[in-house]
Amino acid sequence: MDHPPEIAALLGAFDAAEKDARALVAGLDEALGTWRAAPGSWSIAECLDHLASGNRVYLRAMEPSAQLALTRGRARRTPAVPGMLGRWFIATFEPPVRPRYKLKAPRTIRPRPSPALEDAARQFFQSQDELRAFIRRYAEIDLASVAFTNPFVRVFRFSLATGLHVLAAHERRHLWQAWRVRDAATRSPPSA
């Protein structure tokens, strides 16, 4: 099925994130995958675990609104792109991370304590499949006007389109972070 350009671009963004993550973990052993550059910083496994959790929490928040819109026949009227406020919010997630936009992750999506690299990667890749399935299932509804409550900042309601773009930017942010960890780990490998 041919998708509208912005839907194809969203699917492409999640495909690119998966490809990037596969390159990130290729050849990594458990020691490098769970190495932290400093106490309190995240390992590659923790970055992937955080992304998998965040993707699922957002999808759970978006699903009821999307399903209701589908049931009510709220067909696509405009492209699935964020509005002005949404674009600003998304920009705060894009790498490289600027210190003034560095926030502590909400408790519900903090990585598990010391997840195994293989499991964290598997969870992330499964969440990618779930994201793409959501987009394909709801591509024909009006993603730009159907709103959901942000699961982390409940006073904000975003369009489903904004939510999907937030997830794509969030993935780019933490994959960028994970690559920085990998670079640091290869310069200062963990001791056996």
**What CA–CA distance (Å, rounded) separates 189 from 192?**
9
Q: What stretch of H or E contains 5?
A: helix 5-25
Over the stretch 2-52, which tens digit does the pLDDT of each residue have? 889 999 999 999 999 999 999 999 999 999 999 998 888 999 999 999 999
pLDDT at 147 over 70: yes
**What CA–CA distance (Å, rounded) separates 173 from 73?**
35
For residues 79 and 4, the answer to whether their CB atoms sit within 8 Å is yes
Read off the tokens for 16: 């690119």
Mean pLDDT, all residues of the chain: 91
Counting Cα atoms < 13 Å in the Cβ hemisphere of 20 gives: 20
The pTM score is 0.92
Domains in the chain (CATH in brackets) are 5-187 (1.20.120.450)
Over the stretch 89-124, which tens digit does the pLDDT of each residue have? 888 888 887 665 566 777 777 788 889 999 999 999
